[in-house]
Structure formats: structure tokens, C-alpha cells
């Protein structure tokens, strides 16, 4: 998770304060999220990018041939597993070192709302589209502003409000077709609050009815168009 400049928000300090105490629990939960849900979108020979990788909980749990991670927090590099290539990069600027049509899946969680304005989101999505292979996917999660009210602003680095419908609209305007659009998926935050038993996390994923009761984060899965010749 990041904004335009790590110095603007002192990301290293904010994220250390926010995440260090729950780091072990978060890793365990993300292992379940990847194995129990997101792995269905990822084949062993894929190239996968974790956009706004934070402490790398997602990309460290992924089994893929090539694993990439991007963030503006320089401390993220030290949290990544061996073999993960790190890009210290503003996502709204050209992704240097990542060729066109080279990535099978771009995953992003709790990231886009940290960008300073909608123009940065649009530029980030255009770079995402450039780098994803035709037919490849973008998977995006984030806090759904429509279900959180003022709680959305409890994090200093939240900058813009996003819902599943607004994100789906801008994705369709930037070369994607939306396959899955869930307004309610996961609960709001793992950085504070209760730590649920890991068995309950597995159960939650298996029963979408529970998403309607407790979900406050959206889930979008979108596919880059395949251009027929």
C-alpha cells in the first residue's frame, strides 16, 4: 500500500505501527486466502505482480513461476520472500522494467484508495492493462466506501473513496471486462480488531452468504480484452 511519495506520509513509520503487531496473524490469514480462494486464478507457470504489495503477505504465499512486487515503501523489500523481484515504483508512472503483455495476473489489495486522486488511479490501471497479457486478469480488493461511512477515514493515508461499481466502471473504460463484481467480500481490516480462529477464516471463504453479513471490502476480477485479428 502506498501513495505518490513514501516521504509525504512517512510510510515506513505508519505501516510499522499499523502492521508489525499483527504480522504473524496476517501471514497466516493470507496463506489461507491464497490457498483457499485466490489460487484458482493462478497457474504454476504464471507471472504474478502484487501491486502495492505492503509487507508481501499475498505474493509470498503465491506459487507461481515469476513473482513481482511493487510498492513505494522501501521497507517492503525486506518483507518479501526469496525470489520475489521488487519494484520501488510510483504506480501512476510508467512501470520501468516491466514489458508490455508480460504478466498473467496483477493482484492489488487495499491499495487504490491510497492514491492521491482519480487521475492516479486511472494511470495506474492503464499501466496495469499495458503489462497484462491479453486475456490476463486484474484482481482487486479494497474497503468499500458505501458500507463504511466515516470509518473509511480512520486511516490517515486513505485519500479517495472507491466502491465496487466505481472501480468496475473505470476498469471497463480502460480495456478490461469485469468477470466478478462483489460489493461485499472480506471484513474491513486485519490491522486492528478481533483475531478470528484460522478455521473460521476457511469457513468464511466457503460460505458466500457470510460475505453479505460481514463483508466490507469489495472484490473485482477483471480480464484484459483479447484483440482478434
- Greatest Cα pair distance, the chain, in angstroms, is 53
Give me the pLDDT at residue 213, please: 95
Residues 6+ apart with CB under 8 A from 164: 144, 181, 182, 183, 218, 219, 220
Q: What are phi and psi of 217, to 5 degrees?
A: -110, 140
Give me the pLDDT at residue 12, please: 59
Give me the pLDDT at residue 98, please: 97
**DSSP element (H, E) containing 152:** none
Region 6-224: CATH code: 3.40.50.150
Give me the pLDDT at residue 214, please: 94
pTM of the model: 0.90
Q: What are phi and psi of 174, to 5 degrees?
A: -125, 35
User: What is the Cα–Cα distance from 75 to 23, expressed in whole angstroms?
Assistant: 14
**Local mean pLDDT, 10-residue blocks, the chain (229 residues):** 47 59 85 97 98 96 98 92 96 96 97 95 97 98 93 80 97 96 89 76 95 96 84
Amino acid at each position: 500500500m502506498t501513495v505518490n511519495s513514501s516521504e509525504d506520509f512517512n510510510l515506513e513509520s505508519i505501516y510499522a505501527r499499523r502492521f508489525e503487531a499483527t504480522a504473524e496473524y496476517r501471514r497466516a490469514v493470507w496463506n489461507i486466502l491464497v490457498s483457499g480462494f485466490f489460487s484458482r486464478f493462478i497457474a504454476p507457470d504464471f507471472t504474478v505482480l502484487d501491486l502495492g504489495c505492503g509487507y508481501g503477505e499475498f505474493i509470498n504465499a503465491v506459487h507461481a513461476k515469476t513473482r513481482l512486487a511493487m510498492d513505494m515503501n522501501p521497507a517492503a523489500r525486506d518483507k518479501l520472500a526469496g525470489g520475489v523481484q521488487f519494484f520501488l515504483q510510483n504506480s501512476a508512472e510508467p512501470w520501468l522494467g516491466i514489458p508490455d503483455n508480460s504478466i498473467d495476473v496483477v493482484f492489488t489489495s487495499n491499495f487504490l484508495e491510497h492514491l492521491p486522486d482519480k487521475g492516479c488511479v486511472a494511470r495506474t490501471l492503464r499501466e496495469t492493462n499495458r503489462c497484462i497479457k491479453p486475456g490476463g486478469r486484474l484482481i482487486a480488493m479494497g474497503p468499500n466506501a458505501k458500507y463504511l461511512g466515516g470509518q473509511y477515514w480512520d486511516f490517515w493515508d486513505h485519500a479517495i473513496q472507491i466502491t465496487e461499481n466505481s472501480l468496475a466502471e473505470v476498469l471497463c473504460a480502460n480495456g478490461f471486462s469485469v468477470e466478478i463484481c462483489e460489493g461485499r467480500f472480506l471484513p474491513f481490516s486485519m490491522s486492528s480488531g478481533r483475531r478470528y480462529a484460522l478455521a473460521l477464516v476457511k469457513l468464511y471463504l466457503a460460505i458466500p452468504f457470510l460475505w453479505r453479513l460481514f463483508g466490507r471490502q469489495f472484490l473485482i476480477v477483471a480480464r484484459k480484452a483479447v484483440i482478434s485479428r
